[in-house]
Amino acid sequence: MSAVTTPSRPEHHDARVAIEALRAGVPNRSAIRLLGIQEPEIGRRFTDGIAALAADRPAPGLLLAGGYGTGKSHLLGYLREEALRANCIVSWVTISKETPLSQAAAVHAAALRGAVAQGRPEDAVLVALAQLLARPGAVQALEEWTAQADLLPVFAAIAYLLGRPLPPELTLGIAAFLAGDKPPTQEVRTRLAQHGARGMFSLTGMKAAQLVVERPRFLAHLFRAAGFAGWVILFDEVELIGRYGAVQRAQAYAELGRWLGVGPAAPQPGVLTVAAIADDFAAEVIDARLDEEKLPERLRLKGLPRQADLALAAMTAIRRAPVLRPHTADDLARHGEIMRRCYSDAYDWPAPPATLAVREQRRTMRHHVRSWIIEWDMLRLFGSTGGVMVRPDGNTYIEEPDLALPPPDEEAG
């Protein structure tokens, strides 16, 4: 990846799609391709991670930080497109109230809901299963690996059954289980019995906490066996964990450490994780609340020493995360010219040069882009222009008690 990527001028349709997405403040693929990126070191590290996946080597996770409006989500979007072009399964997980980072099961389910393969709109797990069955020797290789891996017997049972004819409803049940649902235990037992293999696999006592750790391992190997380069998982808005209470924040740090493969956790084979967090998080949350001193100890007192070490390693990683540089005047001028050409192509109308407003901290690149589009709209439609009011935005780390939901601990089947 070069330091600054600027693709050729888009076609009329792509230009219109890009402009409409940027007007709404939600850049899509066309907009991401249009604007490119300007973070060469992060791009290089990501490219190295993709190469490691393709070579079946561990790929260290990446954590990046940036201020509000510096383009964290845009950069993740660009990395998403790069991973898809490299034949990876890609998941985008936005940390939210519905997807708390402290709850591994919720994060896994969100990752599989958002998982896609290049040019394939179908469910990514079903796509991988279909490709697995179509590749000579792939199922047998998966079955052999699963028999030797330190996994719950249910995964060996699934690999065993995949090598034999299955009814469509059981295939769907297996895909749903791998995406986070309860296992189709009775259906699996019935099918195993039909093949004289029911006594080979124990399907009892599966703890949810154990499944959420082992599902990604099995899935990553399944994706590789199906012919994909690997599984890339992109975490956006990780700073939301600053609004959790202390216990849930400690659990969230531990989960972040597990996904990144830091501290006592090694990078998961076949998985490359990239996470984005606000650059003020360390000062406003870790330092202000003494999280490094207090939270690992709370986890140890709960009998969770490994999670304590993971949480501390994650906080260290947050402190060391590379920070996206603020946009410069040259960046603003370059983006303004790219946008002018794109707008002109989109509407077959000669847009004038972009107005380069005075840069100030609260005016992000998103504000500048939207103000250019609105001004060109007014000129094109009404022949005059007007100012655009900028509302300051930013992060808030006020704790929200309703985010503190207890993680599940029930048996899965």
Q: How far is CA 196 from CA 37, 133, 150, 154, 184, in A?
A: 56, 22, 24, 16, 18
Task: Tokens 């360390």: give the residue.
Answer: 282
Pairwise CA distance, residues 179 & 166, whole Å? 19
CB neighbour list of residue 384: distance below 8 Å, 6 or more residues apart: 378
Helix (H) or strand (E) holding 296: helix 291-301
pLDDT > 70? residue 5: no
SS3 letters for 175-193?
HHHHCCCCCCHHHHHHHHH
Mean pLDDT of 26-54: 82
Comparing 26 with 121, the larger pLDDT belongs to 121
pLDDT value at position 408?
Answer: 47
pLDDT value at position 413?
Answer: 47
Mean pLDDT of 340-369: 80
Least confident of 78-87, 318-327, 353-362, 386-395: 386-395
Mean pLDDT of 245-274: 95
Task: Tokens 């749903």: give the residue.
Answer: 176
Q: Convert the pLDDT of each residue in 120-178 to its tens digit.
A: 988 999 999 999 999 999 999 999 999 899 899 999 999 999 999 999 999 999 999 99
Pairwise CA distance, residues 91 & 361, whole Å? 31
Residue 180 CB coordination number (10 Å): 20
* Exposure letters 53-78 (e unless 16+ CB within 10 A, then b): bbeeebbebbbbbbbbbbbbbbbbbb
pLDDT value at position 169?
Answer: 93
Helix (H) or strand (E) holding 305: helix 305-320
Mean pLDDT of 241-255: 96
Strand partners of residue 62: 274
**Is the distance from CB of 20 to CB of 342 less than 8 angstroms?**
no
Torsion 291-232-45-30 (CA) sign: negative
pLDDT > 60? residue 9: no
Dihedral in degrees, nearest 10, Cα atoms 91, 39, 29, 5: -140
**Is the distance from CB of 297 to CB of 83 less than 8 angstroms?**
no
pLDDT value at position 386?
Answer: 59
User: In 3D, which of 359, 251, 349 has the Cα closest to residue 307?
Assistant: 251
Comparing 407 with 14, the larger pLDDT belongs to 14
pLDDT value at position 6?
Answer: 45
pLDDT value at position 383?
Answer: 85
pLDDT value at position 207?
Answer: 85
* Backbone torsions φ then ψ of 212, nearest 5 degrees: -70, -20
Please tell me what DSSP assigns to residue 349: S
Q: Convert the pLDDT of each residue in 87-117 to its tens digit.
A: 999 999 999 988 999 999 999 999 999 899 9
Comparing 253 with 333, the larger pLDDT belongs to 253
pLDDT value at position 311?
Answer: 98
Mean pLDDT of 328-355: 88
Question: What DSSP line would sit under 216-249, residue for residue?
Answer: HHHHHHHHHHTT-S-EEEEEE-GGGGGGS-HHHH
User: In 3D, which of 79, 17, 96 has the Cα closest to residue 43?
Assistant: 79
Position 2 confidence tier, pLDDT thresholds 50, 70, 90? very low
Task: Tokens 């890609």: give the residue.
Answer: 90
Mean pLDDT of 254-262: 96
What integer best gives the mean pLDDT of the chain?
Answer: 87
Position 412 confidence tier, pLDDT thresholds 50, 70, 90? low
Residue 311 CB coordination number (10 Å): 28
Q: Convert the pLDDT of each residue in 367-407 to its tens digit.
A: 788 888 989 999 999 887 755 554 545 566 777 766 655 55
**Is the distance from CB of 241 to CB of 286 less than 8 angstroms?**
no
Structural tokens at position 22: 């940027």
pLDDT > 70? residue 362: no
pLDDT > 60? residue 4: no
Structural tokens at position 392: 């300051």
Mean pLDDT of 204-210: 84
CB neighbour list of residue 311: distance below 8 Å, 6 or more residues apart: 250, 251, 253, 254, 257, 295, 296, 299
Pairwise CA distance, residues 116 & 123, whole Å? 7
Domains of the chain from N-terminus onward = 40-117+228-324 (3.40.50), 126-225 (no CATH)
pLDDT > 60? residue 358: no
Question: What DSSP line would sit under 70-135, residue for residue?
Answer: SSHHHHHHHHHHHHHHTT-EEEEEE--SSS-TT-HHHHHHHHHHT-BBTTB-S-HHHHHHHHHHHS
Q: How far is CA 273 from CA 37, 146, 277, 393, in A?
A: 19, 23, 13, 28
User: In 3D, which of 115, 116, 133, 117 has the Cα closest to residue 179?
Assistant: 115
Share of the chain above pLDDT 90, in %: 61
